[in-house]
Chain A
């Protein structure tokens, strides 16, 4: 867990207090002892951190560990679980065809929406940043609106309604392209592409805002200095100055993009029903819902969650590595 600002600030303050002579030197202590001493010295900081930390542990860390434990059982929400060992995972990887399909879908989905939405956010934020402030505010709202206004993605349901009166169907029928209405969200051929489009449409969210904020914080001095140092064009400016300066925001955006693209489930369910036709848009999240909700197999669902957790963790590490190369 990264240290919060508050903690760093307090530590810095503690650094000043360091002038007082210490009874024992760092080299003379074990690491554990040293940590303990440091914690005692900074107890105010820990105290201030405690409320958030407790809640974080109870509602985020603990459930993660619990689901790891549950993934080894046959828990069904209503009765006492039995310990099963690794058999859930065995079944997941060896017997469950739908899970493999779900993994495939999720990867396709994530590898398209994740990077595209990320790059889209970045580029649009960059363009918007060039606009005069008043227009910028308006345009920002326009792009950000889809992701704040709740279930507005259901507009796609009207647009691509299976009814012959749906916009897309009616238009195509008028143009004579089709005779019978297409069941857009109930046809395996269209489900995935449509969901990807909708996902991209709603993806300009928090990350996009943080990019815009990031662009604002970059000091103009840097660009001037860079110009003096021989930057030739806007692209070089972007690559050598803007992006490296924005690395924290970009990291934040990347983490969000990954979690979003892996956890994208509710919108697909709202648009295509559950499960989607022929499992065409069945992601790991859906598979998890299927077992946790419809089949009351929380143990098995937990093992799916653990796998998803590992995948997300791994991709986060990869992204982090990749981002460190920005500007080099």
Chain B
């Protein structure tokens, strides 16, 4: 009876709370907008934006009404400076040499000067990495135009390694899907040029190129005679102490380039044409990634020569009818591992030891001898090679390559040229003829060596003139496959729509024995399914004709077509029975498109051969039997002597040299990136003179190593709870000093530098970079507390500290009793991902609060959709959003910090309510407890999922490319608090870099940590990860300032930044392991057995407190009995 009363009471109370809560929301709706911090800085897309996105047409549809339109009259030049719209929203800065800066941003003046431009006195416009800029201009005569932009990629504080991207609008509208985002390519070159010399050429100078491998490295000697000059260059790929090649660094080359608005998906070749009526128009560029400078924007009539409408190969040959093959028969071999420029910093040379014929190759070590494979396979990526010939005439290009990515499928490359008659005047390359877009490379498991040709076997001939420097661009493209792949993609979208339609009727588990009567309810869906079955079948047949074989890759389409056919006829309830099959096939098809669009191959060399050369001039494709056998055997034996732990080591550290040992428990890639960064020219070792032994260990190694006193000095990436566990057992050093075990000297190291590190604005100089050798390192002389001037603050960064390196929440997780034990290295937190297309179709705004989210739920559920939220994280962040705390007595203004964490905070009313609210999401609102988030998000069944931002992003970006651009992420929904505000907190999960007691050189190790966790190094590391592994290797640096230079888009950055301002963390106190399990028990009791959540949780409170008490006693910390409260500060002072 009593229980009943209690239940009723709580029910009433809750009902009242809900009622008044919502009343409060409604009544203070206006007020909330002002209080609500998110109101002004919301990073999620609004409904209109999402609808616009979904409603955008494709290029083909865009062109349809304009097929009869003629080309525009004349070139329209937009005056980028004077026609710039200045309406307050535009963020561009006009800059030029004569008139450096029109805004007050002084930084830009120096920026401008730093480019050192003198050749161009024109005024240009600087577009920062965020915000948008528009231009209004008059088009005098209507017609079709291409759009040409002259741009420059500056290197500023804002720039990173990613490609420059802008969203593109004409008259405030995305003209069509394919032109919604423009990528302005960057160009990179390697920093391995050793010497370069230019003299006037004499008559008998000849161009030549020679390659040589020695113990010193792998060299390229180039002599290039062009334009009356003779250039002699030496390039070198350096080696480590065991003779393995080391990847050269990359430098972004800064030069003006010309860009025609064109396709980035690979489905269209040539430049886009746009229709402009005779009126004033507006062009808008909205920043996605990277800053850029624009000198001119022009509308070029689509038929004019300057828009470089490309002729056919026949026309090209006609133009060079008189030219013959050169007499001397000289063959110029270009080793592909030495590109002069590349499009992406991820396109770099690598090693392949599968053939003894590849040059250079040795069984002893890994020499860089090829380019390509996984890092050079995305549409639009290219590598470029400079060359010149000694005799004018017709040439052929040959390549030795291995293309074994997809069984039976050929891949394509676009050959572009610049120099001489080719390309644009400013050096921007262009395809010499239309067929050059479709150079075809067939599938084979072996190495191949052949002339560059098209699918019909026509070997292309090129005219090269003596004394001209040409640059050959090999660009990944879809070539002749583009239409077919595009058709499959359209098919996929159509099938996916069908799937969602059916799903809305049947739910995820259709009843096989029920007659849904699809034929009458949704005949169109059945027709579409049948249509798509035919379509896929046709595409498959066309693929077979194109490729000549029936590889396993193509057969996939057949399998799917058969299923669609079966479902389309719906005999014997095929639809219901095959829904889960269809779902998995949708995934397969998405992956299929992904794979087909990747055109990976390895290139060993490119040869420029005379047009009359036969197959003898080609480099041998495969080694002869004896040579390859010998190579294999010697490789096998040498493999026993390869020292993998010395990869990338350039010198064996001197025994007497200062040395610290660093361990990390990540992957090989991560470890090798740190290795190169430590050893690089501006790396840690060069700056401090302290050598670093970097060891890759498995996760659990640290504990036993500490036990046996063989531990490292520094450990990278220790989880926050372990940091505290080790710290309280005196294994980890307190880096804020004063952990009770440090000597005075050690304390001094931390007390001074820790402060300057966390508050860089007070830092006069970074000790690591300016002083070599540790003996003359100048540390600041002030003590920690003197600098602080306020002994109550513990040297932590305040939330409002705009210049802080780390979020307070992150530091809290590695802090115990006022001592900080590590510097955060990674920080993960949950954010909300949403499908814009699905929400737009449902007419739903992105929910900003939990009540909005729950209001949206019925709409989703009637369509058999749901929301993905993992209960583990939900329990925690809901608690903090609603103002609760996992621990009691953490308020330092009220209690002495030694009492913090003495009891569990879940017994507070607000905490119990938060817990009940979370449980109700799963019981009353039936959120699924267990689900495959990525898969359901991809099909659209779960248009909203909440999870770790980088984790989910990385998964979606490679796994679900077919929904690319259809999803975004933003801050978590907010909870309404009693004080009338909304709270959007997410919880930070931290891993830290720590120093261990027994460290042999505290000063050096501490400097290493400062270096390693500093914003520039963290950003550099994150970018290198992306460069090496791809866009799915986004790194969640804990250094807040590093985010700026990581390769997220402006919008993504803004979203992450917004969430970073709303972070809490569950602090680790002794006994924290016990909480998670009991809250889980309570949650499961509520979900499985329908127990009252509050009762379920309350029964565990005493058990949890008892365990915490026992654990605190182990470490001689203050404890309290169940009914005992610690004295507040007021009590003790009075």
Q: Which of A164, A187, A277 contacts B509 (CB 8 A)?
A: A164
A186 CB contacts on chain B under 8 angstroms: 929, 1084, 1088
Q: A165-B580, A170-B580 are in contact. Are A278 and B729 (CB under 8 A)?
A: no
Q: Which of B1085, B1088, B1114 is packed against the most chain A CB atoms within 10 Å?
A: B1088
Interface membership of A275, Cβ < 8 A: yes
Residues A163 and B1084 in contact, CB atoms below 8 Å apart: no
Interface pick from B167-175, B272-280, B638-646, B1073-1081: B1073-1081
- A139-181 CB contact bits vs B (8 Å, 1 = yes)? 0000000000000000000000111111000100110100011
- For the complex, what is the distance from the CA of A134 to the CA of B707, rounded to whole Å? 54
Tell me the smallest distance from the CB of B477 to a CB of chain A, in Å. 39
Interface membership of A188, Cβ < 8 A: yes
A18 CB contacts on chain B under 8 angstroms: none
In the complex formed, the residue of A with least CB distance to B935 is A165
Residues A174 and B511 in contact, CB atoms below 8 Å apart: yes
Interface membership of A294, Cβ < 8 A: yes
Residues B731 and A78 in contact, CB atoms below 8 Å apart: yes
Q: Which of B706, B707, B928 contacts A181 (CB 8 A)?
A: B928
- A169-203 CB contact bits vs B (8 Å, 1 = yes)? 01001101000110100111100000000000000
Residues A163 and B928 in contact, CB atoms below 8 Å apart: yes
- B714-726 CB contact bits vs A (8 Å, 1 = yes)? 0000000000011
Interface membership of A76, Cβ < 8 A: yes
Residues B1073 and A173 in contact, CB atoms below 8 Å apart: no
Interface membership of A79, Cβ < 8 A: yes
In the complex formed, the residue of B with least CB distance to A74 is B1114
Interface membership of A138, Cβ < 8 A: no
- For the complex, what is the distance from the CA of A79 to the CA of B1081, rounded to whole Å? 33
Q: A163-B928, A165-B580 are in contact. Are A78 and B707 (CB under 8 A)?
A: yes
A165 CB contacts on chain B under 8 angstroms: 508-509, 580, 932
A34 CB contacts on chain B under 8 angstroms: none
Tell me the smallest distance from the CB of A5 to a CB of chain B, in Å. 37
- B952-977 CB contact bits vs A (8 Å, 1 = yes)? 00000000000000000000000000
Interface membership of B703, Cβ < 8 A: yes
Q: Which of A163, A174, A187 contacts B512 (CB 8 A)?
A: A174
A76 CB contacts on chain B under 8 angstroms: 729
- For the complex, what is the distance from the CA of A77 to the CA of B512, rounded to whole Å? 58
B1084 CB contacts on chain A under 8 angstroms: 183, 186-188, 277-278
**A-B residue pair count with CB separations less than 8 angstroms:** 67
Residues A187 and B1088 in contact, CB atoms below 8 Å apart: yes
- For the complex, what is the distance from the CA of A165 to the CA of B703, rounded to whole Å? 40
Residues B1081 and A161 in contact, CB atoms below 8 Å apart: no
Interface membership of B931, Cβ < 8 A: yes
A277 CB contacts on chain B under 8 angstroms: 1080-1081, 1084
- For the complex, what is the distance from the CA of A74 to the CA of B1114, rounded to whole Å? 9
Residues A183 and B1088 in contact, CB atoms below 8 Å apart: yes
- Main SS of chain B's interface residues? helix
Interface membership of B730, Cβ < 8 A: yes
Tell me the smallest distance from the CB of A164 to a CB of chain B, in Å. 6
Tell me the smallest distance from the CB of A70 to a CB of chain B, in Å. 13
Interface membership of A46, Cβ < 8 A: no
Instruction: Give the residues from 490 to 512 in chain B that come closer than 8 angstroms, CB to CB, to chain A.
Output: 508-509, 511-512
In the complex formed, the residue of B with least CB distance to A182 is B1088
In the complex formed, the residue of B with least CB distance to A275 is B1077
- A73-105 CB contact bits vs B (8 Å, 1 = yes)? 010111100000000000000000000000000
Q: Which of B706, B929, B932 is packed against the most chain A CB atoms within 10 Å?
A: B929
B1085 CB contacts on chain A under 8 angstroms: 278
Interface membership of A295, Cβ < 8 A: yes
A187 CB contacts on chain B under 8 angstroms: 1084, 1088
Interface membership of B198, Cβ < 8 A: no
Residues B930 and A170 in contact, CB atoms below 8 Å apart: no
Interface membership of A223, Cβ < 8 A: no
Tell me the smallest distance from the CB of B137 to a CB of chain A, in Å. 55
Interface membership of A296, Cβ < 8 A: yes
- For the complex, what is the distance from the CA of A165 to the CA of B707, rounded to whole Å? 46
Residues A183 and B703 in contact, CB atoms below 8 Å apart: no
- A284-303 CB contact bits vs B (8 Å, 1 = yes)? 00000000001110000000
B1077 CB contacts on chain A under 8 angstroms: 275
Residues B926 and A180 in contact, CB atoms below 8 Å apart: yes
Tell me the smallest distance from the CB of B517 to a CB of chain A, in Å. 19
Instruction: Give the residues from 1084 to 1125 in chain B that come closer than 8 angstroms, CB to CB, to chain A.
Output: 1084-1085, 1087-1088, 1111, 1114
Residues B726 and A78 in contact, CB atoms below 8 Å apart: yes
Residues B1087 and A296 in contact, CB atoms below 8 Å apart: no
Tell me the smallest distance from the CB of B786 to a CB of chain A, in Å. 34
Residues A296 and B930 in contact, CB atoms below 8 Å apart: no
Residues B1088 and A79 in contact, CB atoms below 8 Å apart: no
Q: Which of A77, A78, A79, A161 contacts B930 (CB 8 A)?
A: A161
In the complex formed, the residue of A with least CB distance to B1080 is A277
A275 CB contacts on chain B under 8 angstroms: 1077
In the complex formed, the residue of A with least CB distance to B1115 is A76
A180 CB contacts on chain B under 8 angstroms: 926
B729 CB contacts on chain A under 8 angstroms: 76-79, 296
In the complex formed, the residue of A with least CB distance to B721 is A294
In the complex formed, the residue of A with least CB distance to B926 is A180
B931 CB contacts on chain A under 8 angstroms: 163-164
Residues B930 and A181 in contact, CB atoms below 8 Å apart: yes
- For the complex, what is the distance from the CA of A170 to the CA of B512, rounded to whole Å? 11
In the complex formed, the residue of B with least CB distance to A295 is B1073
- For the complex, what is the distance from the CA of A278 to the CA of B926, rounded to whole Å? 22
Q: Which of A78, A174, A183, A278 is packed against the most chain B CB atoms within 10 Å?
A: A78
Residues A162 and B929 in contact, CB atoms below 8 Å apart: yes
- For the complex, what is the distance from the CA of A161 to the CA of B930, rounded to whole Å? 8
B706 CB contacts on chain A under 8 angstroms: 77-78
B707 CB contacts on chain A under 8 angstroms: 77-78
Tell me the smallest distance from the CB of A281 to a CB of chain B, in Å. 13
- B727-744 CB contact bits vs A (8 Å, 1 = yes)? 001110000000000000
Residues A173 and B509 in contact, CB atoms below 8 Å apart: yes
Tell me the smallest distance from the CB of A130 to a CB of chain B, in Å. 41
- For the complex, what is the distance from the CA of A74 to the CA of B1111, rounded to whole Å? 12
B725 CB contacts on chain A under 8 angstroms: 296
Residues A294 and B1073 in contact, CB atoms below 8 Å apart: yes
Residues A188 and B508 in contact, CB atoms below 8 Å apart: no
A166 CB contacts on chain B under 8 angstroms: 930
- For the complex, what is the distance from the CA of A30 to the CA of B1084, rounded to whole Å? 68
B1088 CB contacts on chain A under 8 angstroms: 183, 186-189
Residues B928 and A164 in contact, CB atoms below 8 Å apart: yes
B926 CB contacts on chain A under 8 angstroms: 180
Tell me the smallest distance from the CB of A157 to a CB of chain B, in Å. 11
- A110-135 CB contact bits vs B (8 Å, 1 = yes)? 00000000000000000000000000
A176 CB contacts on chain B under 8 angstroms: 511
In the complex formed, the residue of B with least CB distance to A171 is B509
B930 CB contacts on chain A under 8 angstroms: 161-163, 166, 181, 183
Residues A164 and B508 in contact, CB atoms below 8 Å apart: yes
Q: Which of B508, B726, B730, B1087 contacts A183 (CB 8 A)?
A: B1087
Tell me the smallest distance from the CB of B872 to a CB of chain A, in Å. 10
- B1013-1027 CB contact bits vs A (8 Å, 1 = yes)? 000000000000000
B1114 CB contacts on chain A under 8 angstroms: 74
Further pairs besides A162-B930, A165-B932, A183-B1087: 6, Cβ < 8 Å: A76-B729, A78-B707, A78-B730, A79-B730, A164-B508, A164-B931
Please report A residues at the B interface, Cβ cutoff 8 Å.
Answer: 74, 76-79, 161-166, 170, 173-174, 176, 180-181, 183, 186-189, 275, 277-278, 294-296
Please report B residues at the A interface, Cβ cutoff 8 Å.
Answer: 508-509, 511-512, 580, 703, 706-707, 725-726, 729-731, 926, 928-932, 1073, 1077, 1080-1081, 1084-1085, 1087-1088, 1111, 1114
Could you list some 23 contacts between A and B, CB below 8 A? A76-B729, A77-B703, A77-B706, A77-B707, A79-B729, A79-B730, A163-B931, A165-B580, A166-B930, A170-B580, A174-B511, A174-B512, A180-B926, A181-B928, A187-B1084, A188-B1084, A188-B1088, A189-B1088, A275-B1077, A277-B1080, A277-B1081, A277-B1084, A296-B729
